[in-house]
Structure 1
Amino acid sequence: MIRIALIDDHNLVLQSLADKLDTVADLRVVGRFTKQEQLITFLKKQQLDLLIMDFMLTEGTAFELITEINNLNLSLTPKYMILSGFYNELLHQQALDLGVRAFIRKEASYEELIAAVKSVSHGNIIVPATVYSHQNDNLSEIELRILDLMVAEKTNQEIASELFISRRTVETHIANICRKLQVNGRIGAVREAVKNNLV
């Protein structure tokens, strides 16, 4: 069972999201919040798998809330998904740096949201190709090294240890690799790397 909490300024949005997510097997909304302090109190007492949040909140942005949650040093930090009515590459990069696994436009359908929730819960990072206009970027030296280790079936933690960087930095690089290769995950990246003789 994937335990989900929602935070948004608007109760109607929370109700609608919760009703839709609760219809899906293996998904359970265990908390809905309009105030950040309510969510923080909840997280100190309850474990959570996934937190879905509006980007603009009453008391600040989702980025500020994530920073506050990360500083709690919880035994289980939830995976983060952000919903936003606006989107640009800089915001997405900041989100990745903070550990956000998906940044979803509010225009997305419920089916797209549910698919993203399931993908994120399985450890994936959602990188929407529509955000990027420069689709043919060359891979950097560090990205090529990480790609080589991915082909060798190294885990993110093993890659981090070998390159003396954090696991979150590895995840950010992998997201960038997937975006540049126009694939949706590690398997696609490895396939493209082998096909195009990048490793």
Structure 2
Amino acid sequence: MIKIALIDDHEMMLNSLAKALQEQAKLDVVATFTDVASFQLFLKTTKIDLVIMDVMLKDETAFRVLENLRRSLTEMPKVILISGFYDALLHQRALKLGVQAFLRKEASYDELTRAIHEVMAGNILIPDKVFNQTDDEKLSEVELSVLKAMADEKTNAQIAEELFMSRRTVESHVTDICCKLGVNGRIGAVREGLKRKLIL
């Protein structure tokens, strides 16, 4: 049996997904969660094979949750992310965090079931368009951090202190971000970052 934990802040969605998966042979939904704290505590005390989680959680994103789990768990379960939108840059970031599949919420239960078995077989599901962008168009992890701080209305000096870099380095990152996003300034960068779902 494949032991699965689900987390989604929409309880109705969570319950219907759990019911559909539980009806499938060889799938065992052992726990469902709507809050991140309980979910993280569960994973620290219980070994499961697969986590299926929504990208947007209550007051948190799956990316931050996964970053915390990677630091706190000795062995990570396999992960499938489900999202109401799709963006290749978000998928690229998910892959860097060890996510094996990224599905839209419009996917059918059959598609999800197939994805589960593919992932458990050791495969990673990657749409071709994830790699269609040139490196010049992709923001690095550091640039994403700077962009988020910009969205939080932090000054270059505050960003430098928070990310342990010089103010001049921050200014260089801001310039590079604007160039990659095709905008002229910080406000445009934040607006474009939100539009592309680079910052949530």
TM-score (norm 2): 0.64
- The Cα of 1:134 is off from its aligned counterpart by 3.8
Q: Which amino acid aligns with 1:81?
A: I
Give the secondary-structure state (helix, strand or coil) at the position aligned to 2:24. coil
Q: What is aligned with 2:24?
A: 24
Which sections of structure 1, spanning at least 5 residues, go unmatched?
A: 136-199
TM-score, normalisation: structure 1? 0.64
Q: How many residues align?
A: 133
Q: CA RMSD in A?
A: 1.5
One-letter amino acid matched to 2:66: I
Query: Could you tell me which residue of structure 1 aligns to residue 10 of structure 2?
Result: 10
- In the alignment, is residue 51 of structure 1 matched against residue 51 of structure 2? yes
Provide, for residues 15-62 of structure 1, a one-character-per-residue CA deviation record: whole Å limited to 9, x for no partner: 111111111111100110000000111111110110000000002110
C-alpha distance in 1 between matches for 2:132 and 2:49: 33
Aligned counterparts of 2:91 and 2:73: Cα–Cα separation in 1: 24
8 Å contact 1:54–1:83 — kept in the other structure? Answer: yes
* Deviation for aligned residue 1:127: 1.0
Structure 2, unpaired ranges of 5+: 134-200
- Tell me if 1:84 matches 2:83: yes
Provide the residue aligned with 2:163 in structure 1.
Answer: none
Residues 28-107 of structure 1 mapped to structure 2, 5 A cutoff: 28-74=28-74, 76-107=75-106
- Does the aligned pair in 1 maintain the 2:89–2:130 contact within 8 Å? no
Structure 1 residue 119 corresponds to structure 2 residue 118: yes
In 2, are the aligned partners of 1:5 and 1:48 still within 8 Å (CA)?
Answer: yes
Percent identity over paired residues: 49
Relative to 1, partners in 2 of residues 1:94 and 1:24: Cα closer, same or farther, differing over 3 Å?
same
Aligned match of 1:197: none
Q: Per-residue displacement from partner, 1:116-137 (whole Å, max 9, x unpaired)?
A: 01110111101124x45949xx
What do residues 91-128 of structure 1 show as CA deviations (whole Å, max 9, x unaligned)? 11101000000000111111001100111011110112
Output the amino acid matched with 1:118.
H
Could you list the runs of 4 or more consecutive aligned residues of structure 1 that deviate by over 3 angstroms after TM superposition?
131-135
User: CA contact under 8 A between 1:103 and 1:126: conserved in structure 2?
Assistant: yes
- Give the structure 2 partner of residue 159 of structure 1: none
